[in-house]
Amino acid sequence: MNPRAVAVAGATGVVGRQMLKTLEDRNFPIKSLKVLASERSKGKTLTFKGEEVPVEVLSEDSFKGVDIALFSAGGGTSKKYAPCAAKDGCVVVDNSSAWRMDPEVPLVVPEVNPGDIQKHKGIIENPNCSTIQMVVVLKPLHDAAQITRVVVSTYQAVSGAGSAALNELAEQSAAVLNGEAGGHSVFPHTIAFNCIPQIPQKDAFTENGYTSEEMKMVNETKKILGDANIRVTATTVRVPVFNCHSESVNVETVKKLTADQARALLRQAPGVIVEDDLDNQLYPLAVRATGKWDTFVGRIRDDISHPSALDMWIVSDNLLKGAALNAVQIAEYL
Q: How far is the CB of 145 from its own copies (least distance, A)?
A: 17
296 binding its own copies? (CB under 8 A): no
Contact segment (CB under 8 A) with its own copies among 36-44, 73-81, 120-128, 243-251 equals 243-251
Residue 95 Rama label (left phi>0; alpha psi -120 to 50; beta): alpha
CA distance 282 to 286: 13
* Beta bridge partners of residue 56, listed in sequence order: 36
C-alpha distance across the termini of the chain, in Å: 9
Report the alpha-carbon distance of residue 328 to residue 14 in Å, rounded.
15
103 Cβ contact list (under 8 Å, min separation 6): none
Q: C-beta of 95: minimal distance to its own copies in Å? A: 24
The residue within the footprint of its own copies, chosen from 200, 285, 292, 332 (CB under 8 A), is 285
Q: Is 57 in the site for its own copies (CB under 8 A)?
A: no
Q: How far, in Å, CA of 154 to CA of 317, rounded?
A: 13
What distance in Å separates the CA atoms of residue 242 and residue 139, rounded to the nearest whole number?
Answer: 27
Catalytic residue status for 129: yes
Nearer CB in complex with its own copies: 95/250: 250
**In the bound complex, what is the minimum distance in angstroms from residue 53's beta carbon to its own copies?**
28
Strand order, beta sheet including 231-235: 231-235, 147-155, 245-253, 309-316, 295-302, 272-274
How big is the site for its own copies, counted in residues (CB under 8 A)? 59
∠ CA 285-232-78, nearest 5°, is 80
Among 120, 129, 142, 244, the one annotated catalytic: 129
292 touches its own copies by CB under 8 A: no
In the chain the beta strands, taken as DSSP E runs, fall at 4-9, 30-37, 45-48, 51-57, 68-71, 91-94, 123-125, 147-155, 231-235, 245-253, 272-274, 295-302, 309-316
Catalytic (active site) residue 142? no
Min separation Cβ 91 and its own copies, Å: 34
303 binds its own copies (CB under 8 A): yes
Of 111-150, binders to its own copies (CB under 8 A) are 149-150
CB crowding 171-185: b at 16 or more within 10 Å, else e: ebbeebeeeeebebe
Q: Which of 22, 250, 295, 329 binds its own copies (CB under 8 A)?
A: 250
Question: Which of 210, 294, 316, 317 is the binder for its own copies (CB under 8 A)?
Answer: 210
Alpha-carbon distances of 110 from 123, 295, 315, rounded to whole Å: 15, 13, 18
Which of the ranges 80-88, 91-99, 139-147, 183-191 carries the binding residues for its own copies, by CB under 8 A? 183-191
3-state secondary structure at position 15: helix
Task: Examine residue 151 and tell whether it contacts its own copies (CB under 8 A).
Answer: yes
Single out the residue of 194, 227, 270, 291 in contact with its own copies (rule: CB under 8 A): 194
The secondary element (H helix, E strand) that includes residue 120 is none
Q: Does 44 bind its own copies (CB under 8 A)?
A: no
Span interacting with its own copies, options 41-49, 54-62, 239-247, 325-333, rule CB under 8 A = 239-247
Q: Which residues bind its own copies (CB under 8 A)?
A: 149-151, 153, 155, 169-170, 173-174, 177, 188-190, 193-198, 204-205, 208-211, 218, 231-233, 235, 237, 239-242, 246, 248, 250, 259, 278-279, 281, 283-287, 298-306, 309, 311, 313
Write out the catalytic residue numbers.
129, 245
